[in-house]
């Protein structure tokens, strides 16, 4: 099946971010749109934080029917959308926007997308587990909230800026009271306590994107059965996952989360479930081609 020809009625979807050139979302979303016979196209648009408000004003009555958001827009969109889903309100971040009758409807599929990847690929159930979550931005918000709702007993949020970690831990802890939230800086002594005894460690920052940046961890206090997950999907083996694999830890890359959150976005926009297998196949091929 091929996509319908471009016409004045063709719907447009996009991923907005800065940077965004690396995004695989257009590859697998267009594969899904084609498989579903949907008259639409999906593109990547580089958008700075300063440009976003004016852009949103101009698309309310256009062929752009929805978009995904990545760094640095997820938290800003909470105030820029007209309506928010319950999940987006509780998480405090938006990664999916649909446009209906000129109104911006914000949602969040990041957390559920991460959980689906966690269950499907790693066969990991967070219920009763200790989690160390690196980062305090939009992705960390969604993942932390979703892990807590899935029954994680303890979540330590570790961030270079300790006050931001504390603020997020307090906020999420007030929303999911059954999970014990705490915060840590990246100072070695604090990070050691955060990592010690963790069943799951998640990098929810952009460190490692393009193979750049190293996360220094106190590996000696991290139990060997622990699962090391990285939401960065390019390269497939980030510096963190490469080191974890070398040390014989179980690992989980970010491509599964990317595809699953995208599939949920597709469903929000079109009202139909996409062919997730075709989305994953397209994403895998594109990533292999990039990696040579």
Domain boundaries, the chain: 11-108+256-291, 111-253
Can you tell me whether residue 216 is helix, strand or coil? coil
Q: What is the pLDDT of residues 75-114, one digit of tens each?
A: 999 999 999 999 999 999 999 999 999 999 999 999 999 9
Find tokens 């593109």 and name the residue: 43
Per-residue pLDDT at 188: 82
Per-residue pLDDT at 1: 57
Asked if the domains 11-108+256-291 and 111-253 are classified in one and the same CATH topology, the answer is yes
Q: How far from chain centre, in Å, is Cα 217?
A: 22
Per-residue pLDDT at 55: 98
Facing residues of 137 across strands? none
Q: Are 104 and 83 a contacting pair, CB within 8 Å?
A: yes
Judge whether 180 counts as a catalytic residue.
Answer: no
Q: pLDDT tens per residue, the chain (292 residues)?
A: 577 788 999 999 999 999 999 999 999 999 999 999 999 999 999 999 999 999 999 999 999 999 999 999 999 999 999 999 999 999 999 999 999 999 999 999 999 999 999 999 999 999 999 999 999 999 999 999 999 999 999 999 999 999 999 999 999 999 999 999 999 998 888 999 999 999 999 999 988 777 677 788 999 999 989 999 999 999 999 999 999 999 999 999 999 999 999 999 999 999 999 999 999 999 999 999 998 7
d(CA 292, CA 290): 5
Could you say which architecture CATH assigns to the domain 11-108+256-291?
Answer: 3-Layer(aba) Sandwich (3.40)
Superfamily of segment(s) 111-253: NAD(P)-binding Rossmann-like Domain (3.40.50.720)
The active-site residue, picked from 57, 74, 123, 180, is: 74
Per-residue pLDDT at 31: 98
């Amino acid at each position: 099946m091929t996509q319908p020809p471009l016409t004045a009625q063709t719907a447009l979807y996009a991923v907005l971010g800065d940077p965004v050139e690396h995004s695989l979302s257009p590859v697998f979303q267009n594969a899904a749109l084609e498989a579903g016979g949907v008259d639409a196209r999906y593109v990547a648009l580089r958008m700075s934080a300063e440009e976003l408000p004016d852009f949103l004003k101009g698309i309310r009555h256009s062929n752009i029917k929805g978009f995904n958001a990545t760094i640095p827009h997820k938290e800003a969109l909470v105030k820029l959308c007209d309506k928010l889903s319950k999940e987006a309100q509780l998480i405090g971040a938006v990664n999916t926007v649909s446009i209906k009758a000129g109104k911006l409807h914000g949602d969040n599929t990041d957390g559920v997308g991460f959980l689906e990847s966690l269950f499907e690929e790693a066969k990991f159930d967070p219920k009763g587990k200790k989690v160390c979550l690196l980062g305090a931005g939009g992705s960390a918000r969604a993942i932390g909230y979703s892990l807590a709702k899935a029954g994680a007993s303890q979540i330590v949020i570790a961030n270079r800026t300790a006050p931001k970690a504390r603020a997020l831990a307090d906020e999420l802890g007030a929303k999911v009271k059954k999970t014990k939230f705490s915060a840590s800086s990246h100072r070695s002594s604090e990070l050691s306590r955060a990592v010690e005894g963790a069943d799951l460690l998640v990098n929810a920052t952009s460190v490692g994107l393009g193979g750049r940046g190293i996360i220094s961890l106190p590996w000696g206090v991290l139990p060997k059965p622990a699962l090391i997950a990285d939401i960065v999907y390019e390269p497939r083996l980030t510096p963190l996952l490469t080191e974890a694999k070398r040390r014989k830890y179980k690992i989980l890359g970010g491509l599964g989360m990317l595809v699953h959150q995208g599939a949920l976005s597709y469903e929000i926009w079109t009202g139909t479930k996409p062919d997730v297998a075709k989305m994953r196949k397209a994403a895998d091929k594109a990533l292999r081609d990039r990696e040579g």
